[in-house]
A and B are shown apart, each in its own frame.
Chain A
Amino acid sequence: MIVRMSKVEVAGPRELLEKVLSLLRDTGILEIEASSTGFINKIDGAYIDSYLPDRKSLSEKLFLEDFRQRIEELLSYLPVIAARSGYFHPQAIIDTINETLQKHLLTCRGLHLKKEALQKEMAELSRYNVFLDAVEPLLEGLKESPDIDIVGLTLKDPDAEGLLRRALSHLTGDRYELLTSTAADGTGAGLITIHKNMSGRIKQALSDKHIPELRFPSAFGGLTFTGKVSFLKKRLSEISEEIDIINMQLDSFSVKWGTIYQGVREWIDERLSLLKATASVFVTRMCFFIYGWTASEDVIKLKERLSDNFKGKVVLEELEIEEEDLDRMPVILKNPPYFKPFELFTRILPLPRYTSYDPTPFIAIFFPVFFGMILGDAGYGLFIIAVSFVIFKKFREKRNVADACRILMTASLYSIFFGILYGEFFGEFGHTLFGLEPLFIERRTAVIPMLYFSVSVGVVHILIGSFLGLIKAMQRKTKKEALLKLMHISLIIAILALVASLFGLFPALMTRPVILAILIITPVLLFTGGLLAPLEVVKSIGNIISYARIMAIGLTSVLLAYVANHLAGMTGDIIVGTVVAGLLHLLNIMIGIFSPTIHSLRLHYVEFFNKFIEAGGRKFEPFRKKEEYR
């Protein structure tokens, strides 16, 4: 349901403005309107102006915004900790905290930068790790001397080793040693041992052949190859230790100061929200005025709060709602517990206008019926209820999951009801097991009667939607629109009556009067709705036929259940048969949850709601504390 809203004015002496805004924020039930249009008449407009903040407020705002930015920076350096309620009021110690913040920010920024530099160095050195792990066993066999040079390289192509050996043999006259190994990532690692005289030529040749030589950072200069390897390992271990120490320092800082700074940030946010709200306030020389919207049921509560807190100095007055206000009034949807879970489906729709209908009750009433009509199997219904109940128990804290389970449980009850009417319990298994007979219709064979039934449901549903549209047009006192909707409904009924009499469902005697009625209604329809009006009627007829999906989707479900039971029977083995039937029924249930849901929703969104629901509502956004601080 769309909650009835009130247009209100809060007025009081200027010196109480801040306290009143603070109270309004704490109650969180008033949306402050920034525009004065429709609130201030022309005569009063000469005396009332927008509130202009004084120098003190402006400098406070700028100070707090800068303060908040610095706290944000500090908190970004710290590990995330759970917020705890503080035991202090930041306002009293704000100057002290400001000074401390400067020092803390420098310390934490320094630690953070150091940690970043270490992490970068670690990432760079780690690139050598894979290679070094591969060549480390080879180093044991090498003897280093001042005349010998060791060149490390990676061999991406496995065939490159043979070519490399031939090239080295040619360049050094067989005076070299090449040791190879395979690294963890699959690439080849090699060590070439040569005389220092030949080192330059070999390195040049490797470069010419695009064989990457392993080059260590410049800080490693002066060390032998094995020295470099052990230095690298040692440095990596040192960096890891240093990072651990910094993390511990930041953790300890966070535990000690994190909560305090979070508390200060919360207080700043509240203070800034008050200062920002003053931009929507209007003043005279002595008084302030706050205009806005609140739920009508909350008006008395708000009046009492203001009266109790300010001893009658601040008053709330309910203003008259004018027609032009209706387009900008915020919308709150509030539904009783049975309808509430179905808001899951309406949340994906745009919000209805204040003067329109909340789609939730309609979807809550018709969705389970359509679902039941399509699935229509008592066994499947019981199974889905059981599964939904288990999921609901397990995930009841997750709002969307809990809502979906509640909807499925309700819809499955209708599935059981229609299952009994259709005589279906896991297909015709109910008939075999305990002689269940259809009370209304047997869907598998009675295709055409089921088609008539589905289309009849469509007629009722579409006509309900059209009547609701007519009522709304009459409430808005738009006579031409109301007449158009009435003619639209009349023409649909006349066309359906004509079709029914032509198909022999109605007496043939009705044909002539119905044709006459159509001939009378059509010109009125063209007059009220223009040349495109008959197209709307054709669209509505199409919408009605679209309800044939209730029969079509249901038929696929019942046939799949039939196939499951017969395939199981054909196996000739009770265990194999049970498994086959179980799997196919399970598949059918999964399709049976998904398909009826999608198609029932579609019938509402596309066919039903466009007859009477007007989108374009604005969400009610009261002035209150941030979600995370409440």
Chain B
Amino acid sequence: MNLEKVLMAFAAAIAIGLPALATAWAQSKIGAAGAGTLAEKPELSATIIVLVAIPETMVILGFVVAAMILFGV
């Protein structure tokens, strides 16, 4: 029973941890490119902020999966 809980917690951690790393990696790339863009076109700041937010879908989906694992949906 305890091992089952540990495995579930581990699975949930992987489900959210890996997408979080992937999101961070994607955001680092977009953020760096965005910073370069802003130096030349500051009027694009709002667009860049939204672009940076786009990869967050991955971690949101990971969070949903983790919640489903933990809450037994």
Contact = CB atoms under 8 A, between A and B. Distances in A.
Contact of A448 (B46, B56, B67): B67
Given A545-B61, A552-B63, A602 B50 contact: yes
Contacts of B9: none
A421 interface: no
A542 B73 CA distance: 19
A185 B47 CA distance: 45
A324 to B, nearest CB: 32
Given A545-B64, A549-B60, A552-B60, A448 B71 contact: yes
A309 interface: no
Contacts of B71: 447-448
Interface in B14-73: 44, 46-47, 49-50, 53-54, 56-57, 60-61, 63-64, 67, 71, 73
Contacts of A542: 57
A451 interface: yes
Give the residue among A345, A447, A542 with the most B Cβ atoms within 10 A: A447
A448 B73 contact: yes
Nearest to B52: A598
Contact of A599 (B46, B47, B53, B63): B53
B73 A503 contact: yes
Interface bracket on B: 10 to 19
Contact of A605 (B50, B56, B57, B63): B50
Contacts of A345: 46
Nearest to B70: A447
Contacts of A548: 60-61, 63-64
B15 to A, nearest CB: 13
Contact of A549 (B44, B50, B56, B73): B56
A447 B61 contact: no
Given A348-B47, A503-B73, A598-B50, A451 B67 contact: yes
Contacts of B61: 545-546, 548
Contacts of A250: none
Interface in A592-616: 598-599, 601-602, 605-606
Contacts of A602: 50, 53-54, 56
B71 to A, nearest CB: 5
A545 B65 CA distance: 11
Interface in A205-235: none
Contacts, number: 43
B46 to A, nearest CB: 4
Contacts of B73: 448, 503
Contact of A447 (B47, B56, B67): B67
Contacts of B60: 546, 548-549, 552
Nearest to B48: A348
A546 B57 contact: yes
A542 B58 CA distance: 10
Nearest to A594: B49
Contacts of A601: 50, 53
Given A548-B63, A548-B64, A348 B53 contact: no
Nearest to A605: B50
A606 to B, nearest CB: 6
Contacts of B47: 348
A275 to B, nearest CB: 32
Interface string A476-512: 0000000000000000000000000001000000000
A451 B54 contact: no
A162 B50 CA distance: 62
Interface in A538-592: 542, 545-546, 548-549, 552
Give the residue among B54, B56, B60, B73 with the most A Cβ atoms within 10 A: B60
A552 B61 CA distance: 10
A348 B53 CA distance: 15
Nearest to A347: B46
B49 A598 contact: yes
Given A348-B46, A503-B73, A451 B53 contact: no
A448 B67 CA distance: 8
Nearest to A547: B60
B37 to A, nearest CB: 13
Nearest to B63: A552
Contacts of B49: 598
A521 B54 CA distance: 31
Interface string A412-431: 00000000000000000000
B6 to A, nearest CB: 21
A369 B44 CA distance: 26
Contacts of A549: 56-57, 60
Contacts of A598: 49-50, 53
Interface string A522-547: 00000000000000000000100110
Contacts of B53: 598-599, 601-602
A552 B64 CA distance: 8
A610 to B, nearest CB: 12
Nearest to B67: A447
A500 to B, nearest CB: 13
Interface in A605-630: 605-606
Nearest to B73: A448
Interface string A68-111: 00000000000000000000000000000000000000000000
Contacts of B56: 549, 599, 602
Nearest to A549: B60
Interface in A4-52: none
Nearest to B57: A546
B67 to A, nearest CB: 6
B54 A606 contact: yes
A419 B51 CA distance: 29
Contacts of A546: 57, 60-61
A503 B46 CA distance: 39
B68 to A, nearest CB: 8
Given A545-B61, A549-B57, A606-B50, 5 more contacts: A348-B47, A448-B73, A552-B60, A599-B53, A599-B56
10 contacts: A345-B46, A348-B44, A545-B64, A546-B61, A548-B61, A548-B63, A549-B60, A599-B56, A601-B50, A605-B50
4 tightest A-B CB contacts, nearest first? A348-B46, A549-B60, A598-B53, A548-B64
